[in-house]
Amino acid sequence: MKRRTHPLDSNIANGQLACWLIYVSRRRLPLLRRLYTAFLNCDIGTALPTSTFLPHPFGIVISTGTVIGEDVVIGQQVTLGNRNGIMAAPIIGMQVYIGAGAKILGPVKIGNHVIIGANAVITQDVPDNMVAVGVNRIMGKKSAYWTPQD
């Protein structure tokens, strides 16, 4: 897999471990899955798009059934998964930034161009172009992070 940088932020790129993790998540290789689970402490239950960015690919948990859009940035220690026995996973839009330690739980839809702050806990839908921090606090101001530069 060729190393590339994020289209809107050249400081975000995948290292060799992240490229390997994305490659392995897209194939059914049980032995390699066990290795990255043990070595990186990751549990990836869905195939990650090749455009996903994992700047620090450690401690990431993604449940089976989670849908991830293009150019999504996932920080370390992020959990995308089920909630309280509700076996429904989140849907993540395109060009979403998920900060370190964030938890997105249950059948929620995260819109396009959204920023999820570090250590946020999200259990409700987040509309397009918004910023979400803390526990389900969706800021009234629109996200300027993904706005194309003129």
Domain with 80 in it: 16-139
Does any domain span residue 57? yes
Q: What value does the CA radius of gyration of the chain take, rounded to a whole number of Å?
A: 15
Q: Which residue has the higher pLDDT, 43 or 107?
A: 107
- The candidate with the shortest Cα–Cα distance to 60, out of 22, 106, 91, 15, is 22
Express each pLDDT in 110-125 by its tens digit.
999 999 999 999 999 9
Contact assessment for residue 78 and residue 98, using Cβ atoms and an 8 Å cutoff: yes
Does any domain span residue 67? yes
Q: Which residue has the higher pLDDT, 60 or 141?
A: 60
Does any domain span residue 147? no
In the predicted structure, residue 17 carries a pLDDT above the cut 80 = yes
The helix/strand/coil state of 128 is coil
Does any domain span residue 2? no
Q: How many domains, in total, are found in the chain?
A: 1
**Beta-carbon contacts of residue 140 (< 8 Å; ≥ 6 apart):** none
**Beta-carbon contacts of residue 114 (< 8 Å; ≥ 6 apart):** 93, 96, 97, 126, 127, 128, 129, 130, 131, 132, 143
Q: Which residue has the higher pLDDT, 2 or 73?
A: 73
Does any domain span residue 6? no
* pLDDT for res 71: 92
Does any domain span residue 105? yes
Does any domain span residue 122? yes
* pLDDT for res 94: 94
* pLDDT for res 25: 85
CATH assignment at residue 71: 2.160.10.10
* pLDDT for res 83: 85
* pLDDT for res 78: 96
Express each pLDDT in 23-82 by its tens digit.
888 887 778 777 777 888 888 888 999 999 999 999 999 998 999 999 999 999 999 998
Structure token digits, residue 57: 């690919």
Alpha helices, H only, 1-150: 16-25, 30-40
The helix/strand/coil state of 115 is strand
